[in-house]
Amino acid sequence: MGSFSLWHWALVLLVVVLVFGTRRLRNAGGDLGAAIRGFKDGVNGKDDPSQQ
């Protein structure tokens, strides 16, 4: 079982969409983006403007 081909990834994506649905995946993507943005801001020392 070597590296995964495009067909393997397409099958995995199809199963994930069938299990979770597109709405939950969209929400998860937005949450992940916000978490990454918050982490980067924390590493760079930027404060949250709502806390000032």
48 vs 43, residue with greater confidence: 43
In the chain, where the domains are located: 6-45
pLDDT of residue 20: 86
What distance in Å separates the CA atoms of residue 33 and residue 28, rounded to the nearest whole number? 9
Q: pLDDT tier at 4 (50, 70, 90 boundaries)?
A: confident
pLDDT of residue 45: 82
What residues contact 41, with CB distance under 8 A and at least 6 apart? Answer: 48
Q: Could you tell me what percentage of the chain is helix, strand and coil, using 3-state DSSP and rounding each to the nearest 5?
A: 80, 0, 20
Q: Name the pTM for this structure.
A: 0.50
pLDDT in tens, 9-36: 999 999 998 988 888 888 888 899 999 9
Domain 6-45 sits in CATH 1.20.5: yes
| Residue pair 11/20 in contact by the 8 Å Cβ criterion | no
